Homo-oligomer: A and B are copies of this chain.
């Protein structure tokens, strides 16, 4: 505490990211990173970048990145807004669209940064409980909220809502801004980005930290009607003229251009996820039908924090969320096949130990 902090700063409960251990021998499946390196094209472009040019400011509009993304999705550059990670994109979005006058709503179980942004910008919010099976019930959402915000597939549950259901929601609530956080969409879901041309109440947010293996470069995107993206631009240009550095722009552009590598690594993650999911089920571990690069799992009779601590003893980092409805569940990122085999063995050991 410091006498100069303002009231808001005093009241904040900041987001706590997953542990970033210095010890490289740990199996790190706690923050949903890709087990595979970035595309060789990304690496080549960074290697070949003229580093003397780092003395010059970047393009404040990240134009080459916008072009590559627009081409990938068959949309226009004016429908894309890039930022310094999807966390920044989401924060700017809260600042551009919400304020104390406008309540918003999101599920009680979803990305735990949403209530943090709400507190940061004094935005009133309602947390609408997901059903017992963790699925989202759109009928439970109040009619007087300015926006509904959720991750699809949802985190940490992994559950996916198909495009037809989202389109029905967009149609039913034309005066509600629908914010879809598609951080995990590339692992089996179908993106709603193509819907932005038809629905001016839709913003889609994506990240290059998961399916494009660039968590270390901090790149996120928003998609929406040009005037929605212009709102984000106004706030960005009142906050930081250049949120993306030269190498991040180069890396992100290349990541969207190398479609083959992207598709191949996503498929590998999906294959690994599916056999791990089956192995868990066979062992009696409860798992949701995750369509992401993580599993949401619970060991019957063993408290979540205890499983997390035991796995850590085995050299494996996973994530546990302290909230009441999720405290016995673990979010386990999909690693390589080798890492997941070790995980399965370790979970067997934990279960056997618990049964003693």
Which residues on A are within 8 Å of B, measured CB to CB?
1-2, 4-9, 12, 14-17, 20, 28, 31, 33-38, 42-43, 46-47, 51-60, 84-85, 87-88, 91, 95-99, 101-102, 116-117, 119-120, 146-147, 177, 200-201, 209, 213-218, 225, 227-228, 230-231, 233-248, 251
Contacts and interface: CB of A to CB of B under 8 A. Distances in A.
A209 B241 contact: no
Contact of A1 (B177, B200, B201, B227): B227
B33 A56 contact: yes
A117 to B, nearest CB: 7
Given A46-B51, A57-B216, A218-B244, 20 more contacts: A2-B230, A8-B99, A12-B234, A14-B233, A15-B238, A17-B60, A17-B241, A17-B242, A20-B58, A33-B56, A34-B55, A38-B51, A38-B52, A38-B54, A54-B215, A85-B240, A87-B240, A216-B247, A218-B245, A245-B247
A33 to B, nearest CB: 5
Contact of A14 (B87, B91, B218, B238): B238
A120 B121 CA distance: 11
A243 B220 CA distance: 12
B238 A12 contact: yes
A55 B84 contact: no
Given A230-B2, A235-B12, A239-B120, A55 B36 contact: yes
